[in-house]
Amino acid sequence: MSTHTDTRTWFITGSSRGFGRSLASAALAAGDRVVATARKPEQLDDLVARYGDRVLPVALDVTDPDAVQAAFAAARTAFGSVDVVVNNAGYANLAPVETADEEDFRRQFDTNFWGVYHVSKAAIPLLKEQGGGIVIQFSSVGGRVGATPGLGSYQAAKFAVDGFTRVLAAETAPLGIRYLVVEPGGFATDWAGASMEVDDVPADYRATVGALADLLRGGGAAVGDPDRAAQILVRIVHADRLPTHLLLGAGAAGMALDYSRGQLAEATVWQAVSASADTGAVYPVDLPANG
């Protein structure tokens, strides 16, 4: 039964599992319609059986811009409009930057950043024509805090997604398009399971990359509930109170706050040195004392 008086149409990438699956299910349970894209749309057959023509499964590889355009065309044919676009498709493999296979590093970036680029770019003309809409970009707390050993490609892409989205928000604000960057911490999805390949970790990186590999394999970082997170996002969309960024999970919020406090403290300590780089400013100035 629908819990809302207004029906939204969602376009969700990576809908076959993880956050995408949870979000598709939550939106449908709320009475909305969903264009559920996946590399293997047959994995969505149970949603079709349950929700009928309120769900449209579409085959999509987000790294293929022509396929992205075709998916939006199918969405428009089926539902006439799209209210919420969700860039969720993504994955990570674990390896030190020094020893990671370069092609694998690039493939991850192709999905995690360029996929977001293709989908966002294709969505803008449709949302413009409609007079607005919402784009939700799945990042990670690592896309704000970073420095997670072994996730060089994944976190570089997530930082890029955030920067890219901030520019999009500034460019399209007069067009009624709004953006939400979602930054989860550890959640009980298969992100660190079947979706992740872990390279052999050289001895030099056992204390850093190896420690993370052990943690992920043990499930120690996965305390978040993806179904609950999906329900939160559906509530936010329907309440129409959209933050620019949303951290998900107490651990993510704590990490982000600690990081922001550290950034603010460092910028304050070095502020006089920063200002001395300007023409006409007092120069030189003393460097901050150690500690």
Could you list the pLDDT tens digit for every one of the 291 residues in the chain?
A: 334 458 999 999 999 999 999 999 999 999 999 999 999 999 999 999 999 999 999 999 999 999 999 999 999 999 999 999 999 999 999 999 999 999 999 999 999 999 999 999 999 999 999 999 999 999 999 999 998 999 999 999 999 999 999 999 999 999 999 999 999 998 867 765 667 888 789 999 999 999 988 888 776 666 789 999 999 999 999 998 899 999 999 999 999 999 999 999 999 999 999 999 999 999 999 999 975
Residue 88 included in any domain = yes
Query: Which residues are designated catalytic?
Result: 139, 154, 158
Residue 150 included in any domain = yes
Instruction: Yes or no: say if 198 and 153 are a contact pair by the CB < 8 Å rule.
Output: no
Residue 289 included in any domain = no
Q: Where are the alpha helices (DSSP H) in 131-245?
A: 152-172, 211-217, 226-239
Name 117's Cβ contacts closer than 8 Å, sequence gap at least 6.
164
- Report the candidate in 252, 225, 20, 261 with the shortest Cα–Cα distance to residue 141: 252
Residue 40 included in any domain = yes
Domain that holds residue 17: 9-248
Enter the pTM of the model.
0.94
Residue 67 included in any domain = yes
| CATH code of the domain in which 13 resides | 3.40.50.720
Distances (CA, A) of 189 to 18, 54, 96, 196, 224: 5, 25, 23, 11, 9
Residue 263 included in any domain = no
What's the gap between Cα 75 and its chain centre?
21
Residue 3 included in any domain = no
Number of domains in the chain: 1
Distances (CA, A) of 282 to 193, 267, 277, 279, 287: 55, 18, 9, 9, 13
Residue 235 included in any domain = yes
